[in-house]
Amino acid sequence: MEFQPTPTDGVETETSEMQFDTEQLISRLFEKSSFDLNSYKLNRTLHLNWLVRLCFQGFPSRYVSQDASQPWLLFWILQSFQTLGVAVDPTTKQRAIDTILANQHPSGGFGGGPGQLPHLLPTYAAVCSLAIVGRPGEGGGWDQIDRQKMYQWFLSLKQPDGSFIVCHDAEVDMRGCYCLLTVATLLDMLTPELVRGTRAFVSSCQTYEGGFSASSYPYFTSDAPNHLSSLLRSPRPSLGEAHGGYTFCAVASLLLLRAQKDEGKDVLDTKKLLRWAVGMQGQEIEGGGFRGRTNKLVDGCYSWWVGGLFALIDDLLGAGGAPLERLDHDSHSDGKEGDDSHEWQDFEDGLFNKQALQKFVLVSSQSTTGGLRDKPGKPADAYHTLYNLSGLSSAQHHVYRSAEQAAKLESQWVRSAPFIPTGKEATESDEGRNERRKRIWVDANSWTEDEVASRYVGGKENRVNATHPVFDLTMTTSRAITNYFYGQNVPIA
Amino acid sequence: MSTSRIPETYIPYAERPDWADVTPIPQHDSLDPLVPIHYTPEYKDATDYFRGVVQAGERSERVLDLTEYIISLNPSHYSVWQYRYSTLIALKSDLAAELKLMNTIAAENLKSYQVWHHRRLLLTQLRSAEGELDFIAAALEEDKKNYHTWAYRQWVLAEFNDDEMWAGELGLIEKLLDKDVRNNSAWSHRFFIVWDSGIRKGEEDRETVTRRELAYTKEMISLAPNNASAWNYLRGVLERTATPLSSLEAFVAPYARAHSHISGFITPASNETEGVFIDLENPLPSESASLPCPLAIEFLADIWEEKGGEEGAKKASEYFASLAEKYDPMRKRYWEFRQKEAQAPHPVTVSA
Contact B76 A67 (CB under 8 A): yes
For residue A265, name the pLDDT band (cuts at 50, 70, 90): low
Residue B198: the pLDDT is 82
Optimal mutation site among A52, A75, A116, interface B, most CBs of chain B within 10 A: A116
Domain range enclosing B333: 247-352
| Length, in residues, of chain B | 352
Q: What is the mean pLDDT of chain B?
A: 90
Optimal mutation site among B27, B181, B196, B295, interface A, most CBs of chain A within 10 A: B196
Nearest CA in chain B to A114: B27
CB nearest B117 (choices: A170, A267, A332): A170
> How buried is B98 (Cβ within 10 angstroms: 0-12 exposed, 13-18 middle, 19+ buried)?
buried
Report the pLDDT averaged over residues A318-342.
39
For residue B219, tell me if it sits in a domain: no
Query: Which is more confidently placed, A402 or A338?
Result: A402
Q: How far is CA B121 from CA A153, B127, B149, B207, in A?
A: 21, 10, 15, 38
Q: Name the active-site residue from A161, A173, A188, A299.
A: A299
Residue B199: the pLDDT is 83
Contact A237 B223 (CB under 8 A): no
Query: Which is more confidently placed, A467 or A265?
Result: A467
Rounded CA separation B263/B266 (Å): 6
Q: What angle do CA A264, A265, A270 make, to 5 degrees?
A: 130
Of B109, B126, B143, which residue sits at a domain end? B126
- Count how many pairs of residues, chain A against chain B, have C-beta atoms within 8 Å: 284
Contacts of A234 in chain B (CB under 8 A): 195-198
Q: Name the active-site residue from A135, A196, A258, A296.
A: A296
Report the pLDDT averaged over residues A263-276.
82
Rounded CA separation B115/B109 (Å): 7
The partner residues of B350 in beta bridges, in order of sequence, read A268
Of B92, B111, B126, which residue sits at a domain end? B126
> How buried is A18 (Cβ within 10 angstroms: 0-12 exposed, 13-18 middle, 19+ buried)?
middle
Q: Specify whether the CB–CB gap between A392 and A456 falls below 8 A.
A: no
Residue A400 has pLDDT above 50, yes or no: yes
Rounded CA separation A407/A84 (Å): 31
Q: In chain B, what percentage of residues exceed pLDDT 90?
A: 79
CB nearest A295 (choices: B81, B117, B182): B182
Query: Which is it for the CA torsion B203, B208, B210, B215, positive or negative?
Result: negative
For residue B181, tell me if it sits in a domain: no
Q: Name the active-site residue from A119, A147, A243, A436.
A: A243
What is residue A417's DSSP assignment? P
Residue A324: the pLDDT is 34
Contact A9 B117 (CB under 8 A): no
Q: Does B183 touch chain A (CB under 8 A)?
A: yes
How far out from the chain centre does Cα B73 lie? 27
Pick left, alpha or beta for residue B165 (phi over 0 → left; psi -120 to 50 → alpha; otherwise beta): alpha
Q: What angle do CA A141, A145, A146 make, to 5 degrees?
A: 155
Q: How far is CA A433 from CA A153, A190, A255, A420, A486, in A?
A: 21, 11, 19, 10, 12
Q: Which of B113, B202, A226 is nearest to B193 (CA)?
A: B202
Of A314-328, A343-357, B71-85, B237-251, the range with the lowest mean pLDDT is: A314-328
Residue B105 has pLDDT above 90, yes or no: no
Q: Name the active-site residue from A124, A151, A246, A302.
A: A302
Q: What is the pLDDT of residues B204-261, one digit of tens each?
A: 999 999 999 999 999 999 999 999 999 999 999 999 999 999 999 999 999 999 986 6
Q: Specify whether the CB–CB gap between B39 and B132 falls below 8 A.
A: no
Report the pLDDT averaged over residues A13-42.
93
CB nearest A114 (choices: B27, B332, B346): B27
Residue A340 has pLDDT above 80, yes or no: no
Contact A56 B34 (CB under 8 A): yes
- Give the DSSP letter string of B227-296: -HHHHHHHHHHHHHTT--GGGGHHHHGGGGS-GGGGGGGSPBPSSGGG-B---TTSPPPPTT--SS-HHH
Q: What is the CATH number of the domain that holds B46?
A: 1.25.40.120
Residue A486 has pLDDT above 70, yes or no: yes
What is residue A379's DSSP assignment? P
Contact A254 B352 (CB under 8 A): yes
Interface of B with A in 41-80 (CB under 8 A): 43, 47, 51, 54, 73-79
Contact A288 B86 (CB under 8 A): no
Of A103-112, A336-345, A363-372, B181-190, the range with the lowest mean pLDDT is: A336-345
Of B111, B126, B141, which residue sits at a domain end? B126
Q: Does B19 touch chain A (CB under 8 A)?
A: no
Q: What is the mean pLDDT of chain A?
A: 90
Report the pLDDT averaged over residues B44-53.
97
Radius of gyration, CA atoms only, chain B: 29
N-to-C CA span, chain B:
50
Residue B30: the pLDDT is 78
For residue B205, tell me if it sits in a domain: no
For residue B328, tell me if it sits in a domain: yes
For residue A419, name the pLDDT band (cuts at 50, 70, 90): very high
Report the pLDDT averaged over residues A89-101.
97
Rounded CA separation A101/A71 (Å): 10
Report the pLDDT averaged over residues A233-254.
91
Query: Which is it for the CA torsion A63, A67, A68, A69, positive or negative?
Result: positive
Q: How many domains does chain B have?
A: 2
Residue B276: the pLDDT is 52
Rounded CA separation B265/B269 (Å): 12
Nearest CA in chain A to B294: A7
Q: Specify whether the CB–CB gap between A274 and A329 falls below 8 A.
A: no
Cα torsion B111, B112, B115, B120 to 10°: value is 80
Burial readout A156-171 (b: 16 or more C-beta within 10 A, e: otherwise): ebbeebbbbbbbbbbb
Q: Name the active-site residue from B44, B92, B111, B201.
A: B111
Contact A65 B74 (CB under 8 A): yes
For residue B266, tell me if it sits in a domain: yes
C-alpha neighbours within 13 Å on the C-beta side of residue B287: 0
Q: How far is A481 from chain B (nearest CA, A)?
A: 22
| Length, in residues, of chain A | 493
Q: Is B111 a catalytic residue?
A: yes
Interface of B with A in 243-282 (CB under 8 A): none
Report the pLDDT averaged over residues A162-168.
96
For residue B277, tell me if it sits in a domain: yes
Contact A348 B235 (CB under 8 A): no
CB nearest B351 (choices: A267, A350, A353): A267
Contact B38 A58 (CB under 8 A): yes
Strands A447-449 and A238-239: unpaired
Report the pLDDT averaged over residues B24-46.
93
Residue B193: the pLDDT is 95
Residue B272 has pLDDT above 50, yes or no: no
Contacts of B40 in chain A (CB under 8 A): 61, 64
For residue B7, name the pLDDT band (cuts at 50, 70, 90): low
Rounded CA separation A486/A488 (Å): 6
For residue A339, name the pLDDT band (cuts at 50, 70, 90): very low
How far out from the chain centre does Cα A112 lie? 19
Q: 3-state class of A268 per DSSP?
A: strand
For residue B56, tell me if it sits in a domain: yes
Q: What is the pLDDT of residues A363-395, one digit of tens each?
A: 999 999 999 999 999 999 999 999 999 999 999
For residue B348, tell me if it sits in a domain: yes
Residue A319: the pLDDT is 58
Report the pLDDT averaged over residues B74-90.
97
Residue A307: the pLDDT is 98
Rounded CA separation A127/A184 (Å): 10
